[in-house]
Amino acid sequence: MRRIGMLTSGGDCQALNAAMRGVAKACFNCLDEVEIYGFLDGYRGLIYGNFKMLNSRDFSGILTKGGTILGSSRTPFKTIQDPDENGLDKVEEMKQNYYKLKLDCMVILGGNGTHKTANLLREQGLNIITLPKTIDNDLYGTDMTFGFQSAVDIATSAIDCIHTTAASHGRVFIIEVMGHKVGWLTLNAGMAGGADIILIPEIPYDIDKIVEAINQRNKFGSRFTILAVAEGAISKEDAKLSKKDLKEKMKKNPHPSVSYEIAAQILEKTGQEVRVTVPGHTQRGGSPCPYDRVLASRLGTEAAKLIMNEEYGYMVGIKNREIVKVPLAEVAGKLKMVAPDASIVEEAKMLGISFGD
């Protein structure tokens, strides 16, 4: 008998259900006896013992379903070792619930913060296997995370839709794409959607360079300019500030986000009409695209293989189109950033795209 725990933690995204389905179907098909315990609402379920037994029927019909059948929540790693409001030791409670159910392992689906906590549980002696989900594609150790391509498709569609209205009215349009620390989503959606300017956290921008790019387009007869801006985009001036000083400055900022701040600056410097569009959580929602369905299914199946072989302490990722297992200790706490001199950035610049630098 194999007893497997499973949870989804952090922000939801497309193909979480597809990945869990991959794990479950492979285990049910290849192992004689399996019990799968789904913990509800992320690590909270493991902390407080909220779970339900899942059978094969629970995984039927969810390949194309967005969100997560287990629910999710954010349980920040920086406070995971602090007692809860009732004084409970959260880490100890997770361990005890694991042992009470006599689990052979936990399969944990999540992003960067989720992997930090998963690695902590591994260090505490629990058998852990993780799967890389995030629309940001910022997890170290894997070329791709499931959820990313679906989010690229949605953000690109938003940019596509803006093109016609921008051209009709001769306006500057800013589309704010998700991504606080890493710009993979904005970079890919911006290139796919034909954005003229792409601003990402890894390449601090100069507002005068942005205005210069807009004026250059106007000079050559373009009636509009489209900017794809990551929500974590930062100016060169702000990038020089300490975290403390930047936080204080942001508190006094009258604009709801960086996109609105940039819009106000463009209006002031050019006099052109500027509109901001924020697709927001639509980028996380809806049915996973075919690529993500396949990727999540492959990753889930390989996780099942690790369970069968009793190989624990790994994240299942993809490298050069082949599924790989990566030691969890090498993944936790590392972000896969866009290098300012990356080939994809150079290629975008060759297309005439400005990064405001």
Q: How far apart are CA 112 and CA 10, in angstroms?
A: 9
Q: In what order do the strands lie in the sheet with 34-39?
A: 51-54, 34-39, 2-8, 105-110, 128-132, 314-319, 322-327
What are the φ/ψ torsions at residue 95 (nearest 5 degrees)? -65, -45
Which one-letter amino acid corresponds to residue 53? M
Confirm whether 357 is a catalytic residue: no
Q: What are phi and psi of 186, to 5 degrees?
A: -65, -40
Q: Please give the sequence-ordered ranges of beta strands (E in DSSP) within the chain, or none if there are none.
A: 2-8, 34-39, 51-54, 105-110, 128-132, 172-177, 197-199, 225-230, 274-277, 314-319, 322-327
Burial class (CB within 10 angstroms; exposed 0-12, middle 13-18, buried 19+) of 277 = middle
Q: Which of 12, 41, 136, 138 is catalytic?
A: 136
Burial 77-101 (b: 16+ CB within 10 A, else e): beebeeeeeeeeebbebbbebbeeb
Beta bridge partners of 38: 6, 52
Active centre residues (catalytic): 136
